[in-house]
Chains A and B, each alone.
Chain A
Amino acid sequence: MSELEHAGRIDLPATLWQEILGHCRRKLAGEFLPGETPVRRAYGILAGTLSGDVMVVRLVLPVKKNARSVEPFRSYMDQVMAEHAVESTTPMDKRGWITDPGELRACFQRCDDEGLMVFGTYHMHIVAWDGDPTRDTPTRLDTVLARGSNLVSFIISMVDEKRPSMRAFYEGRPDREIPINITG
Chain B
Amino acid sequence: MARIIIPFPFRKHTENRREVDIEGESLSQVIKSLVLRYPGLKTMHDQPALLSVFINGRQVQGQAGEWDNVPLRSDDEVSLIIPIAGG
Contact = CB atoms under 8 A, between A and B. Distances in A.
Contact of A139 (B7, B49, B83, B87): B87
Q: In this complex, which of B7, B81, B85 has the most chain A Cβ atoms within 10 angstroms of its Cβ?
A: B85
B86 A97 contact: yes
Interface residues of B, number: 20
Nearest to A147: B43
Chain A at the B interface: SS class: mixed
A148 interface: yes
Contacts of B12: 1-2, 150
Interface of A: 1-2, 43, 45, 67, 72-73, 75-77, 80, 85, 95-102, 104-105, 108, 111-112, 117-118, 121, 123, 138-139, 141-142, 145-146, 148-151, 153
Interface of B: 7-10, 12, 18, 43, 49-50, 52, 54, 59, 63, 79, 81, 83-87
Q: Which 3 pairs, one residue from A and one from B, show the smallest C-beta to C-beta distance?
A: A101-B52, A141-B87, A118-B8
